[in-house]
Structure 1
Amino acid sequence: MKKIVFVAHDPGGYDAVYPVYEDMRNQMECQLFCIGPSANLNRKFAVRIDMVLGYLHDALKNDEVAVLITGTSWGNHTELDCLKLCQKYNVPTISILDYWSNYASRFRTDIGEHIYPDYYFVMDDLAKKEAIAAGVDEKILYITGHPGLDKFFNTKKTLQPRTVLKKILFLSQPLSSLYGNSLGYNEKTVIVDVINICRELGLKLNIKFHPKDLQDLKIKYRKFEVTGNLEEVLPSYDVVIGMNTMGLLHAVLMGARVISYQPGLKIEDACITNKLGLTKNILTAPDLRQILENVDINNRKNIDNFVWSDGYSVRRVIDKINTIFNARELYDRGNR
């Protein structure tokens, strides 16, 4: 029997791909490979990168792959290598986007070649519009919602905000590795600001590091570190501060007070909670201090009108995959 093969490298890609795998494995034969940072999120499916390509090459030669489904990553081209290999064997390929940015550059190789999937699943109209503007062919784009967000709607957690702030959670990101200083800020400069402001205001601060954060950064600020899934640790905090991480959207959906802090931002704002009007971009340390001091935070905009806000994104993705799979089956039968 043919398998659906899933491959995830970055944590965001894993968040988008894994819920689909978890549901589909009850329907048909599925194989999940977690490589790179995603391997640290699920050791059960952790494999070396060379093992994925070796397995896929043999499985394709033996006509054992029905569909390839990947996340979208930065700094590693394994998913692109998998896409290219499957397309060589005329096997349908799907990539699931996990964030509203870098729509085309995620699929660009070091030599400037773009290796796109046959089907590119994006979250909503905004993502589709921005992807087209970035040069992605509209014909491969499909709006399915975001599979990684379903759990935040299906397990409602109501947080009771306090009028006096005591504990702050900062969500770090490896922005310096991705952008250097081109944004006007990075996690190194922002952490210093947040630590100083929390110290001045007598607030307890914890930092939740990103799996791809630099090890030196983690060691330097390890006394602030908190571990665990965001949905588990979040209820202990009064405010969540981040830069442009997807975790800010997760926190908003769970009912937390959320701040996007991007001091000295030099480019167009890529923070999705700011783009959706759920948060405002705070650009200076004095402004951040004033907001925390006065508890001036409101993320109460209604989110019910967004495609991904109904908790059924996984189902939409699977329905589309089944359509693709069934169409390919009919095609193969007609050409035997």
Structure 2
Amino acid sequence: MIIFSTKDAGPAAYLSEIIKVLNEPYICVASSFAQKIFDVNNIKSTVIDFSTQEEYGKFVEANFKEIPIKLIITGTSWGNSIDKAFIKFGIEKNINVISIIDHWSWYKERFLLKNALVLPNFILVNDEYARDEAKKEGLDGNIIYAIGNPVLENKVTKATNIIGKDQWLKNLNLADKKIITFISEEYAKDFPMDSSYYQGFDEYQVLEDILDLIGEKEHLLIKLHPSEKMDKYDKYKRKNVSILYGIDLNPLIIYSDIFIGMGSMLLMEAAVLRDVVISYRPNDKKGFIGNRIGATILVQDKQSLNEIFEKGIKFDKSNFAEKFKGSTERIVDFVKGYLD
């Protein structure tokens, strides 16, 4: 039996790709919004939402101590989580634990609990760049494996048989409109101004800059993060603004005239499917991996953003998608190596 667990939506998408190929008996435990990702992938999961790490720990001990577990595979996230409960449980019970980092950020913070590290036996990251960054943050390079990302690998395959653009626009009642898509995230909440994690801006500032630049010929689609509430941007609703939740992402990525976000993993996914992906980060203090490795275009001020809106821009990503080919097979082979 394999245990899969995750609190966040990104790792849920990653783990879904592995579960579908691995063909091994499993139990999947997830938060309520991670479950939505598993549901989309037809993967059964049990929802566990607690506020304290003690509650997570008690749940895992009470429900899994009698189960013959071969391997535990977890996502990673900040703060209290089911992931950390399973990591601690696995290490205490001498069960191998593999944790995945699906992004290029906050490597060490994902394993911190009350200023102490809760580490698995193995950590899988997207590439050598991520491995080097994780080592610089203080994680042990001997347990970190640069192995790829199945979500990025499979993005192209899943985008082959999608609805046509005319029909997509018709379904949204947006024919003859220039579509600008904004990928929202919880920056104000997760990176507050008075913290060391402050990015120099938040999603509200970015959204207001975009709104100032669009006119009657444009329509703004705001794609919410799974953790965001449906009514978050209600005050910004107007005739040329729509808020999206649970939409098919591939047509959104491919058919949007302008695709813009801040630092979402979805920007990296979009970079696999389209040439121009904008990372708008006014007064940026922390940076974004997509801009550092040439997958996305960094824009730092409203005037430059307006020029792109009016004139467009060309960009060469140098085959960003190629580096992730074979990711799923490599990860599955790695996992199988610890099932015997």
Distance 1:105 1:52, change over 3 A: closer
Among all aligned residue pairs of Structure 1 and Structure 2, give the percentage whose two residues are the same amino acid. 26
Match of 1:329 in 2: none
- The answer to whether the 8 A contact 1:168-1:204 is kept is yes
In proportion to residue count, which structure has more helix?
A: 1
Q: Give unpaired runs (5+ residues) of structure 1.
A: 327-336
Residue 231 (structure 1) shift: 1.3
- 1 CA distance for matches of 2:161 and 2:257? 13
1:132 to 2:135 alignment: yes
Offset at residue 291 of structure 1 (A): 1.3
Determine the C-alpha separation between the residues in 2 that align with 1:210 and 1:40. Answer: 12
Matched, 1:288 2:294: no
Per-residue deviation, residues 297-327 of structure 1 (Å, max 9, x unmatched) = 4244222652x2x1x212111111111222x
1:235 and 2:254 aligned: yes
SS at match of 2:117: coil
CA contact (8 A) 1:157 1:254 kept: no
Shift of the alpha carbon at 1:276? 1.3
Question: How many residue pairs were aligned?
Answer: 313
Aligned mates of 1:183, 1:304 — CA distance in 2? 27
Preserved contact between residue 167 and residue 205 of structure 1 (Cα < 8 Å): yes
Unaligned runs of 5+ in 2: 166-175
Name which of 228, 235, 249 aligns with 1:220.
235
- Matched residue, 2:124: 121
How many angstroms apart in 2 are the aligned matches of 1:248 and 1:63? 39
Question: Offset of 1:81 from its aligned partner?
Answer: 1.4
The question of whether the paired residues in 2 share the 8 Å contact of 1:185 and 1:264 is answered with: yes
Counterparts of 1:62 and 1:285, CA distance in 2: 58
Where do residues 261-276 of structure 1 align in structure 2 (5 Å cutoff)?
Answer: 261-267=280-286, 269-270=287-288, 272-276=289-293
Question: 1:45 Cα deviation (Å)?
Answer: 1.7
Task: Within 5 Å, give how 1:109-258 maps onto structure 2.
Answer: 109=113, 111-157=114-160, 166-181=178-193, 182-199=198-215, 202-214=217-229, 217-221=232-236, 223-227=241-245, 228-258=247-277
Q: Offset at 1:251? A: 1.3
Aligned equivalents of 1:174, 1:6: Cα separation in 2: 25
Matched, 1:80 2:75: no
Alignment of 1:27-38 (within 5 A): 28-38=24-34
Q: Which residue of 2 aligns with 1:331?
A: none
Conserved 8 A contact 2:268-2:296: no
Q: In structure 1, what is the Cα distance between the partners aligned to 2:37 and 2:236?
A: 22
Note the aligned Cα RMSD (angstroms): 2.5
- Give 1:284's aligned amino acid: D
Aligned equivalents of 1:232, 1:166: Cα separation in 2: 14
Please identify runs of 4+ aligned residues in structure 1 that moved more than 6 A: 158-161
TM-score normalised by length of structure 1: 0.85
Q: Deviations over 1:274-296 (max 9, x none)?
A: 12112221100011001111112
Question: Which letter does structure 2 place at the counterpart of 1:102?
Answer: W
1:96 to 2:70 alignment: no
Partner residue of 2:172?
none
The alignment partner of 1:325 has SS state of coil
For 2:200 and 2:149, locate their aligned partners in 1 and report how far apart those are by CA, in whole Å.
29
